[in-house]
Amino acid sequence: PVLTRRGTVGKVLPGGKTNREALMEQVHEDGAHPVNLDAGQTGTVYALEVGGEKIAVFKPAQGEQFSRKSVPTGQGCIREEAAYLVDRLSDSRAGVPVTSRASIEVDGKTLEGSVQKFVGDVIGFIEDFAMPRDPERAEEFVRQEDAEALALLDMRVLNMDRHTGNLLLLRREKPHGLGPIDHGCCLPPWWMLGEAIYDAWIDWVQFKSPPKETTRRLAAYAHENMEMTMKLLREVGLPEECIVTLQVCTLLVKVAIADLAIPVVRVAKLILRDEDSGFAELSWLETNVLDAAAKAGAKCRMGEDDRGDQAIDVDDRGEGLDVKAFLADLEKAFRKEVPKATEWCAAPVPLELLEAMAKQVEAAAKAAAEAEAAVAAAGAEAE
């Protein structure tokens, strides 16, 4: 097909092509041709093949069929690339496949959409396997830190479609890896946070324990790297009100996971609406967002959607919101209220102390190795 990269956003990898540019070159230079796959829940999907081997998946924007109040049809391709960038700028810890917006010629027509590198070494969808309920067996099946990296991504982008059919299980040997796909339904505007879905992993036993140190570091790093992340998301065309959503959710993850070391499942439930209310009431996060936004200049209020469920109503798409003041107020609320809301009051070990302890262990091991080498050298000289 005729394949063209759309909206290149510059170099992410130092000293060369981005992963997305490399993917585009592979598809274009190898002469891939599209093969129509069975339409998924989110719309039409094509596999791009070379010599009968699948190398990428193409989703045309005009074939999108998902129904989300917060994501207009045709905008899923932007979010597919945005989710990849969010993960890429967090060292690709969640494993989102390389994704880029592109145009491709199918049956003589040029279609706009997203291209995603085909995931190899797949043994199936997570829905085809049962996550063990025993903590030790679950850790052997999928490591806690790998599961947590996925959950952090989903919480940060407020994934509205993480069901068991769009999470791949990788590698036949244990522990298995995870392959998150289908990110067209994420990053809604900051006033439309009520459709989060984490069904694929919310019941996993790995999330009942305090987060791993590596996960806490990842949450802190993601927050530190927000300026670069926001810059790239603006360049791919993600609306500003959706970038604010990433800021809000990344801040929550930073405070709750990095600083307070609260188990992932307890944090996720702050974002999800309560099933017992029929998902009709604002989530804990939505309630705090509404309060902080009103204080920060947005004309917003409690309202109802067309189903009669609670919703945040805004005027002029949130114009007037002082984002800096909004986030500052939210951070105060998060630090004060999250321990109570999650019913988790255990004092966390500060990350700085953990890092200092790790350096001490490393230094001691190095000194021991040097001493052992010196003894060995002295023995050799004596001989």
In whole angstroms, give the CA distance from residue 293 to residue 296.
5
Arithmetic mean of pLDDT over the chain: 87
Look up tokens 């017992």; give the residue: 276
Q: What is the tens place of the pLDDT at every residue in 219-253?
A: 999 999 999 999 999 999 999 999 999 999 999 99
pTM of the predicted model, to two decimals? 0.84
- 3-class DSSP assignment, residue 285: helix
178 has which bridge partners? Answer: 169
Strand extents, DSSP E, the chain:
3-5, 33-36, 46-50, 53-60, 99-106, 109-117, 122-125, 167-170, 177-180, 300-304, 310-314
Q: Both tokens of residue 110?
A: 């040029």
Q: What is the pLDDT of residues 128-187, one digit of tens each?
A: 999 999 999 999 999 999 999 999 999 999 999 999 999 999 999 999 999 999 999 999
**What angle, 0 to 180 degrees and rounded to 10, lies between the N-to-C axes of helices 213-224 and 351-382?**
120
Residue 119 tokens, joined: 């995931």
**For residue 283, what is the DSSP state?**
-
